[in-house]
Structure formats: C-alpha cells, structure tokens
Amino acid sequence: MDRRQLLQAGAAMLAAGGARSALAQTPGAAPAMQKLKIDAYSRHLAWLRTAEEVAQACIEMAFDGLDITVRTYPGHVDPAKVKTDLPPFVNTIRSHGLLVDTITTNISDADSPNAEAILDAASSLGIKHYWWGTYRYDLTKPIGPQLEALKPRVERLARLNEKYGMKAMYHNYSGGRTVGDAIFDFLEVLRNFDPRWVSFHYDVGHATEGAPNGTWSLGMRAAGPYIGGISFKDSLYRLDLDTPEGGPFTGTPAQLNGGGRGRGGRGAPAGPGGRGPAAPAAPPAPAAAAAGSAAGGRGAPPAGGRGAGRAGGRGGPTGRGGGGQPNPWRLVQVPLGMGLVDLPAVAQVMKEINFQGPVEVQAEYANGGAGRGLDKITLPREQVLGAMKHDLLTLRAVLGPAGLI
C-alpha cells in the first residue's frame, strides 16, 4: 500500500468512526433505560398466609410487585405442590395490579428436588427470574479446584434454564465461607455461560459487609452483565466492649481486642487469685438502632436474633479478632439507610452497568419476627408494615432522583 492509498484508508476510517459517534448521539440509537420496579419479598410476609392478605399488604406499602417464596413452610408455595399452588397464588397477586416476575427457591442444581417442576410452573406463568444457590467452600481444601468443580453443575443448570426461558440469580452472602462472597470468585465461573440463563442476585447489603469502604463497587461493576437482580438491605458493625458508652475503659489491653471471659470478650479483668470485680454493664445500643427499636421494633435484634453474637460478620462468639482474641465486633441488621450501604453510590453503579432486572427490598432487621421470616409476629400489623414501607420510601428517595424509577 503506497502513501496515497494509506491516507485514503485513514480518511475512510475516520469518517466511519464519526458516523458511529453521530449515531450514538442520535436519539433512539440506543434503547432507553427502562424504569425499574421494586418488589416486596414474601419471606417477610410469611405471617400472612393467603395470597389476598399478601397482596393487600403490598398495596398498603406501595410496592410494585412481589418475589414469592417457593419453599417449604413457612414459604408461601410448597415446592412439592408448585404446579397446583403457584398459579392461583400468582394470579391473585396480579389481579391487584402487582407484578410477579421473581420467585425464591432452594434450587442449587438441575437435579435439586422439584427443580424442573418449579421452572415449568413458573415459566408457564411468564415468570422469568428465580433465586439460586447457595454453594459453600470447604476451607480445608484449595479454593481453585472447588470453583472448577462447580462449572459442570452450572452448565447443567444453564441448559435447564434455557429450556424454560428462566434466569437463575445466584444470591451472594458475606461471611467468608460462601462461594460468591467475593463476587470475583464466582464471576469467573459464570463467565463460561450465557448471562441470559445464569447470573447474580446481587445483595448490596452482603456485598458491603464483605467489602466496605467502596470496595464492593469494583465487584458490582465487574459483574455488571451478570447481575440479573438486585436485593437491598442494610447493616452495621457494633463494637461490643465491656465499657459503658462515654466512660473510661478500665480493663486490660487484651480486652481492647475482645479478650476476657464469656461471649465476645465480655467480663472483668482477672484480679488476684483469678478473681476480679463484677463485670460492668453492657454498652447501650447505638442511638440510631435504639431509636429505631422504639419506633416500630426497628434497630438492633434481641439476643439470639439475626446478627446476635456474630463476630466479624459471621464468626459467632467463637470468632477470633485482633491479637487472637475473640472479635468484639457484631453485625447488626438495620433498616435501609441506617447502616453501611451507600445507596447513592449503588444507584450510580446501577446506571453505569445499565441494570434492567428486578429489584427487591429485604427487611431483615428486628421487626416483630417478620425480618426472620416467621409465621407469627409480636408487633402490631401496621407497625411491621410501616417499617417495611419506610425502607421502600428510603430506596425510592435515592433511585428516583437517579432516574432509575
């Protein structure tokens, strides 16, 4: 190619590039981002047993739709009866103008109990998404081979999903033992398969717990094409040391790392002969959590509830922290907007990855038993629903200005 031909070729390339640039800026050249809808999660409505009751609750809270639990009791639809029980439940919910595009299942593999029956029944109703998982690591073995061993399992499930036109959404959890906690680990498995059939159900709360200080956003951006749905919840870490809030610490250096007797390092420093003074009172709950608890049962869970006694997120009272001492930090589920989750930053990443899937709110904080999916509640109905409605309004207040809803 002589100099003249080279210049002509370059000019042609520049012209083509300019045409593509102009096309990209032309209205209608790319599909506009659809407005997202926000679902309630029926696990938090397990205390309402009929589809009519659940629908009325969703309307009162102003949700757009519902993610239905297809799980054994207290799930709303028994997986063993999915073909007969799912259609009337879904049709009742939809008859009230609510959307149903997602179900929550215990499917982990193509041969999981009732897996094909569930997908068959759901797809016949036009449902396109379902929860999938969860895999856990054997920490006594190398991680790499365990991820490789998952690929054939995911491949079989992807084929089954393609048969029924369903997208499996793998829910990420925090804690260090769950595959997908780090996002990048399971993303390397998913990259082998079509994101139309296998994806993440990206939990922003768990992602923030596992990678706070903005690190979570790297995984969310990387997994963008493989994020099929998004779940919103919130949490914070509470320091559980034996010193009254605002008072001087009188323990030992070991106790600063959670040392001492009992759970999470609680107890007085040892005195002569191994005996010590009486342990000081436990520190009060954080102001935000305490205020929430007084206004609708929201805030820190009671002892034995979700989040109680956790060390470093999931370690429990036997977890070890700095210096080999029991970890004094406790993970507490809180109402949306009261914890670590940076909602505006999440909304920004959602826009960047052009997220178009289902969105739901998980209200897992103490709320009269609803947060734990119990079939009975210990708070008034209006108080429980009011707490969940507040979560929805908090989320709408962020997604609305971002142009996502």
What is the arithmetic mean of pLDDT over 190-201? 98
| Same domain? 65 vs 175 | yes
**Residue 11: inside a domain:** no
**Residue 48: inside a domain:** yes
> What's the pLDDT band for 33 if we cut at 50, 70, 90?
confident
Instruction: Tell me how far apart the alpha carbons of residues 376 and 337 are, in angstroms, rounded to a whole number.
Output: 26
**Residue 290: inside a domain:** no
pLDDT tens, position by position, 99-135: 999 999 999 999 999 999 999 999 999 999 999 989 9
Tokens for 257? 């790392």
| Same domain? 161 vs 261 | no
pLDDT at 327: 74
| Same domain? 377 vs 252 | no
| Same domain? 119 vs 107 | yes
* pLDDT above 90: residue 282: no
pLDDT at 329: 82
| Same domain? 83 vs 166 | yes
| Same domain? 120 vs 184 | yes
* pLDDT above 70: residue 199: yes
pLDDT at 350: 98
**Residue 24: inside a domain:** no
| Same domain? 44 vs 160 | yes
- Residue 364 sits in a domain whose CATH number is 3.20.20.150
Total-model pTM: 0.75
Does residue 79 or residue 282 have the better pLDDT? 79
pLDDT at 248: 56
What is the arithmetic mean of pLDDT over 172-198? 95
**Residue 27: inside a domain:** no
* pLDDT above 90: residue 288: no
* pLDDT above 50: residue 367: yes
**Per-chain mean pLDDT for the chain:** 81
pLDDT at 240: 73
| Same domain? 155 vs 49 | yes
* pLDDT above 80: residue 205: yes
**Residue 215: inside a domain:** yes
**Residue 152: inside a domain:** yes
Q: Which of 38-52, 251-265, 275-289 has the lowest mean pLDDT?
A: 275-289
> What's the pLDDT band for 166 if we cut at 50, 70, 90?
very high
**Residue 108: inside a domain:** yes
Number of compact structural domains in the chain:
2
pLDDT at 90: 98
pLDDT at 176: 84
| Same domain? 102 vs 204 | yes
| Same domain? 181 vs 322 | no
| Same domain? 230 vs 246 | no
> What's the pLDDT band for 247 if we cut at 50, 70, 90?
low
| Same domain? 81 vs 171 | yes
Range of the domain at 206: 38-237+335-399
